[in-house]
Amino acid sequence: MRIRIVGAGAMGRGIAQWAAVAGHTVELCDVQTEAVTAAVDFVGSMLERAVQKGRMSAEDSAAALERLVPLDDPWAPGPEVELVVEAVREDLDTKAEVFGKLEQALPESTVFATNTSSLSVTRIAASLRDPGRLAGLHFFNPVPLMKIVEVVPGAATRPGIPPVLTALVESCGHRAVTVADTPGFLVNHAGRGLVTEALALLEESVADPAGIDRIARDVLGLRMGPFELMDLTGLDVTAAVIDSIWQGFRHEDRLRPSFLTPNRVTAGLHGRKTGQGWFAYGPDAPAPAPEPPVTGDAGRPVFVAGEEGDALRGELTADGATVESGTVPSEGALVLVPVWGTTVAAAVASLGLPAARTFGVDPLPSAGRRRVLAVTPSSDPSAARDARAVLARSADGTEPFAVSVVRDTAGSVAQRLLASVVSVAASIAERSLAAPADIDLAVTTGLGYPVGPLAWGDRVGAARVLELQRSLHATTGDPRHRPTRWLTERAQLGLPLTQAGTSPDACA
């Protein structure tokens, strides 16, 4: 296939490298000819590096570079061009102008694709004489390494075009997911579940950014915590995406932005690229503060209360803790309450527990060796230090647990992050914006989650996740925690969240 790529910036040159290596002839062009020269040099250096690392042969590298054709005029006639991929700046008028000129220069049979990440494909196509020839083809940076592409048909896109684009993507070694033309498409939309809830936790002073990130990594198994991720992406970019998706979905509660971000963006606290975001960067940046050492009495007796207590009771006993077995705690014993979607304060009130020495423990299974202890305004600091020491201890010869101390909140940190990730993905599935399998594929490939959000919900159990979200909703009254119909129905029917279900059309 002969492909013309318009725009020789980071995305354009990445797409050019990807297509040329896959065997396609690629015309690379830009309104600035020096950008094309720089892009070709860059692709050459990337191919040379791949040869040095043994990822491709010198012959294949040379052949790929030969297939990369610099083009001086983006609007030059191209009777053999079968596909155009536009990768210019994110501006509707600019993209419409580019496609208008291409429509005059190229055959009617040439398929048009836009790499937009935030604009409506339908609105871009509307400026064309034939809007049916255009679809979205959204790559992620760096293109050769991010092996996922969103295929986005606009409202007028001809039905035959998305399958052609999907076949092209997959023949070149990437995975393709078909996504509705909605704000954020799929990956950016699904990613809001993590960062919006992390910001909500910070708003409520449940933990600081470093503390939330530790829990996200060590309990949920994420590669990066949400605040590290925002610093890497750029808070200016993240905040703009959050706002645009929230506005595009008519102020959907579960996508609600935080009041914390506008002032930070205005102050230039964008993350790595500015040297300061949620964390400091650069050679002169102070080292991250270590977690405080464990100083309490690990031998103090503990009483585990509540319906969720059996598993924790067994774990602590195996780790050598002194666990009481009576029906009420002894005088002076620490009281640990595993809470699922509710608060320690509610457990103190409903079970008549001693407030000063009662603490919450997150029962969510940890992906690493970290436990989470929740304290209330009534907590005695000395008792809290002892509770942290008890949770940190482990059996002889094994590494002690790290213990995060957080403010009491419904569901604690990890539960709320997980509930939000699953909820946003279920909302995408409920609206039929993408198929369940494509949602999980896109998120694991595009965001690096350890498992897709719907499959993650199935690991926990749909009924269990529904219980969590109902408890969060009832405890907080916040509509952001309202369970989706997708989750509720599947929990009630005993179906996995990854199952699409029966369409009415199939029963006609």
Residues labelled catalytic: 117, 138, 150, 188
**6 forms bridges with which residues in the sheet?**
29, 86
With 0-12 CB in 10 A as exposed, 13-18 as middle and 19+ as buried, what is 301? middle
Alpha helices in 319-411 (DSSP H): 344-351, 381-392
Contact yes or no for 442/149 (Cβ under 8 A): no
Helix (H) or strand (E) holding 86: strand 83-86
Helices (H) and strands (E) in the chain, counts: 20, 13
Among 372, 447, 369, 433, residue whose Cα is nearest residue 404: 372
The Cα angle at residue 329 between residues 326 and 343, in degrees rounded to 5 = 115
CA distance linking residue 309 with residue 295, whole number of Å:
25
Which DSSP state fits 29? E
Task: Look at the alpha carbons of 227, 231, 233, 234 in this order and tell me if their dihedral is positive or negative.
Answer: positive
Q: Which amino acid is at 414?
A: A
Give the DSSP H/E element, type plus range, for residue 196. Answer: helix 192-203
